[in-house]
Amino acid sequence: DADVTQTPRNRITKTGKRIMLECSQTKGHDRMYWYRQDPGLGLQLIYYSFDVKDINKGEISDGYSVSRQAQAKFSLSLESAIPNQTALYFCATSRGTWTDNEQFFGPGTRLTVL
């Protein structure tokens, strides 16, 4: 079984709709992240969480919100989706120490906003 799972894997929605992307992990990691990937670009950090009570904005948080329901679950919401939020979204996890800091990614969610 995959250590980091994302649901749904693909989603097509319309402008103005509320969308939630979910991420679950069985790695036991404290840190979780949401990124988006646009064609021809690297990944950009949307939000990150060090634990259930510690949530922080990344470099492109506008238009997004998150919820850390448990150590293993981190959800990303688009309150009112717009077409330029069409992208590939990744959830990632890492251990709590910087010296052991590689991030492990989920399979991605491909979101299309019409």
Partner 1 sequence: AQKVTQAQTEISVVEKEDVTLDCVYETRDTTYYLFWYKQPPSGELVFLIRRNSFDEQNEISGRYSWNFQKSTSSFNFTITASQVVDSAVYFCALSGEHSGSARQLTFGSGTQLTVLP
User: Given the rule CB under 8 A, which residues bind partner 1?
Assistant: 31, 33, 40-45, 48, 56, 58-59, 88, 90, 92, 98, 101-108, 110
Amino acid at 24: S
CA angle 44, 45, 51 (to 5 degrees): 160
How far apart, in whole angstroms, are the C-alpha atoms of residue 91 and residue 97?
Answer: 18
Closest contact distance (angstroms) between CB of 99 and partner 1 is: 8
How far apart, in whole angstroms, are the C-alpha atoms of residue 82 and residue 96?
Answer: 34
| Closer of 18 and 44 to partner 1 (Cβ) | 44
| Closer of 17 and 92 to partner 1 (Cβ) | 92
Closest contact distance (angstroms) between CB of 80 and partner 1 is: 26
